[in-house]
């Protein structure tokens, strides 16, 4: 999800420079809802990596006769359709190993540790489009906001009177331990008047249930059964968002919700994070520090790491997160 939202500042810049231009977005179907209210985009085209699905896309892609094709995020699968596109202007920030067939002239080079948003802005600057800032865009309509408020009311939760805690993570090693989530929720409920909304995807329901069972039901709601755009609307109404490095983190930044993001340096499987998965590349960028806070450390529950790197050896504790919450209250 983050890779997709990172492209929105570059898209906005293109539309600002060329107001009459039409922009189509080739995107995985599960992310289309994030862009249906984005006025900078004409069409969202669902993308499937399977070759026979790609063939079905070709007639519409060929008819469009694009002036430029900008590949913000790709793998080798998309390389199959590139030769069919009737344009001489194809740009990517990824290397030719990922996109065989592209020449080095088609690659916009940046420093290895350049943030994903800045890589995409560099691409549009290559076609003489100046940057329009780095803020990501998610657009919600009034019906979506009102539905979120109604859902909160049914759960006896006030708008801006709750913390949204994302229990999930796109992969297991991005998930903060359940016991930590439970203890943090109990601390919030005991020491503040705030309620808690437990979020995550449908695949996280068992984790959400495990946390919810340990808490007071009167001030706790669950949102893992809600759709992506419904969760976006709920996050927009939160006082604070707490989340690992996953999709909701990027949603929080885009919606300008005070966000505490947890970046793993070492996970429960003992895997150490590559620098390209760290906050400098994936985290908040040029965001008001009063609205964002990053905690980096181990997601392991016990001190078992032998490392000279203080970030890798430090476990992210409940106290660490609670102290960040206090700073936002």
Q: Report the candidate in 67, 68, 76, 81 with the shortest Cα–Cα distance to residue 94.
A: 76
The verdict on 167 and 112 lying in the same domain is no
Model confidence pLDDT, tens digit, residues 75-96: 767 777 777 776 768 888 876 6
The verdict on 315 and 167 lying in the same domain is yes
Domain that residue 16 falls in: 2-125
Q: Is residue 16 part of a domain?
A: yes
Model confidence pLDDT, tens digit, residues 213-223: 999 777 999 99
Chain mean pLDDT for the chain:
85
Asked if residue 89 lies in contact with residue 67, where contact means CB atoms within 8 angstroms, the answer is yes
* pLDDT for residue 108 is more than 90: no
The verdict on 112 and 170 lying in the same domain is no
The verdict on 305 and 267 lying in the same domain is yes
Tally of domains within the chain: 2
Q: What is the pLDDT of residue 307?
A: 47
Binned at pLDDT 50, 70 and 90, residue 273 comes out as low
Helices 318-328 and 178-191 sit at what angle, rounded to 10 degrees?
40
Q: Is residue 38 part of a domain?
A: yes
Cβ of 179: how many Cβ atoms within 10 Å? 13
The verdict on 151 and 297 lying in the same domain is yes
The verdict on 21 and 153 lying in the same domain is no
pLDDT (mean) for 145-149: 97
* pLDDT for residue 302 is more than 60: no
Q: Is residue 23 part of a domain?
A: yes
Residue with tokens 């439970």: 182
pLDDT (mean) for 291-303: 70
CA distances (Å), 15 to each of 92, 124, 130, in order? Answer: 19, 11, 11
More confident call, 282 vs 110: 110
* pLDDT for residue 266 is more than 60: no
Q: Is residue 190 part of a domain?
A: yes
Residue with tokens 């708008």: 159
CATH code of the domain in which 152 resides: 3.40.50.2000
Task: Calculate what percentage of the chain has a pLDDT beyond 70.
Answer: 85
pLDDT (mean) for 25-30: 91
Asked if residue 64 lies in contact with residue 86, where contact means CB atoms within 8 angstroms, the answer is no
The verdict on 170 and 207 lying in the same domain is yes
* pLDDT for residue 66 is more than 80: yes
Choose the final residue of a domain: 64, 99, 125.
Answer: 125
Selection from 15-24, 163-172, 174-183 with the highest mean pLDDT: 15-24
Binned at pLDDT 50, 70 and 90, residue 308 comes out as very low
Q: Is residue 187 part of a domain?
A: yes
Q: What is the pLDDT of residue 50?
A: 76
The verdict on 155 and 76 lying in the same domain is no
Measured over the CA atoms of residue 31, residue 37, residue 42 and residue 43, the dihedral's sign is: positive
The verdict on 252 and 308 lying in the same domain is yes
More confident call, 54 vs 168: 168
Model confidence pLDDT, tens digit, residues 239-256: 999 999 889 999 999 999
Angle at 223 between CA 327 and CA 209, to 5 degrees: 95
* pLDDT for residue 118 is more than 90: yes
Q: Is residue 131 part of a domain?
A: no
Q: Is residue 132 part of a domain?
A: no
């Amino acid at each position: 999800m983050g890779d997709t939202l990172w492209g929105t500042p570059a898209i906005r810049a293109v539309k600002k420079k060329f107001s009459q231009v039409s922009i189509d977005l080739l995107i995985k179907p599960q992310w289309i809802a994030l862009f249906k209210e984005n006025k900078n985009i004409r069409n969202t085209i669902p993308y499937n990596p399977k070759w026979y699905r790609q063939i079905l896309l070709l007639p519409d892609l060929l008819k469009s006769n694009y002036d430029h094709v900008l590949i913000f995020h790709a793998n080798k699968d998309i390389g199959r359709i590139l030769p069919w596109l009737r344009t001489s202007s194809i740009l990517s920030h990824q290397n030719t190993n990922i996109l065989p067939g592209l020449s080095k002239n088609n690659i916009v080079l940046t420093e290895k540790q350049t943030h994903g948003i800045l890589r995409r802005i560099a691409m549009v600057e290559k076609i003489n489009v100046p940057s329009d800032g780095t803020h990501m865009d998610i657009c919600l309509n009034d019906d979506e906001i009102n539905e979120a408020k109604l859902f909160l009311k049914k759960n006896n939760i006030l708008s801006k009177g709750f913390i949204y805690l994302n229990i999930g993570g796109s992969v297991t090693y991005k998930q903060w331990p359940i016991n930590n989530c439970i203890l943090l929720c109990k601390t919030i409920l005991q020491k503040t008047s705030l309620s808690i909304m437990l979020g995550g995807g449908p695949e996280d329901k068992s984790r959400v249930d495990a946390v919810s069972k340990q808490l007071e039901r009167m001030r706790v709601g669950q949102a893992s059964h809600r759709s992506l755009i419904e969760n976006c609307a709920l996050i927009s109404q939160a006082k604070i968002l707490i989340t690992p490095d996953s999709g909701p983190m990027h949603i929080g930044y885009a919606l300008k919700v005070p966000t505490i993001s947890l970046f793993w340096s070492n996970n429960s499987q003992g895997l150490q994070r590559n620098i390209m998965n760290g906050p400098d590349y994936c985290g908040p960028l040029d965001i008001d520090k009063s609205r964002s806070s990053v905690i980096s450390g181990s997601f392991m529950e016990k001190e078992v790491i032998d490392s000279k790197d203080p970030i890798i050896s430090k476990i992210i504790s409940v106290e660490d997160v609670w102290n960040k919450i206090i700073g936002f209250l």
